[in-house]
């Protein structure tokens, strides 16, 4: 499912206009991205939580040449599915 299909289904289920659903979805996603970028976690009870993780610097290999390379430390986004979400996935 892509974003437009999601907007269409939410608009149909909520009897709201597609334009208003699209605006709300864009605002919600922007707010989640901003909060996580600032280091906050976002918890949606029954769905899951978004947070920032840290990946340490490490050494690796260039797959093409086999030469060792250094991979820099990085921040990453973590998502942990909530129990209700996991249960609904496993029920089907």
Tell me the mean pLDDT in the region 1-25: 96
Same domain? For 32 and 47 the reply is no
Is pTM beyond 0.75? Reply is yes
Same domain? For 52 and 29 the reply is no
- pLDDT tens-digit map of 10-21: 999 999 999 999
Residue partners of 73: CB distance under 8 A and separation at least 6: 54, 55, 56, 57
Closest residue by Cα to residue 10 from 31, 29, 33? 29
- Which domain CATH number covers 89? 4.10.520.10
- pLDDT tens-digit map of 58-90: 999 999 999 999 999 999 999 999 999 999 999
The alpha carbon torsion through 4, 53, 32, 80 (nearest 10 deg) reads 60
Same domain? For 13 and 56 the reply is no
Same domain? For 21 and 63 the reply is no
Q: What is the pLDDT of residue 27?
A: 98
Partners of residue 60 on adjacent β-strands: 69
């Amino acid at each position: 499912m892509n974003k437009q299909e999601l907007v269409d289904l939410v608009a149909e289920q909520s009897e709201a206009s597609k334009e208003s659903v699209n605006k709300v979805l864009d605002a919600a996603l922007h707010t989640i991205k901003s909060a996580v970028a600032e280091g906050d976690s976002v918890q949606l009870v029954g769905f899951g939580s978004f947070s920032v993780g840290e990946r340490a610097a490490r050494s690796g290999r260039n797959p093409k040449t086999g030469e060792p390379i250094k991979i820099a430390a990085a921040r990453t986004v973590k998502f942990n599915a909530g129990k209700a979400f996991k249960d609904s996935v496993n029920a089907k």
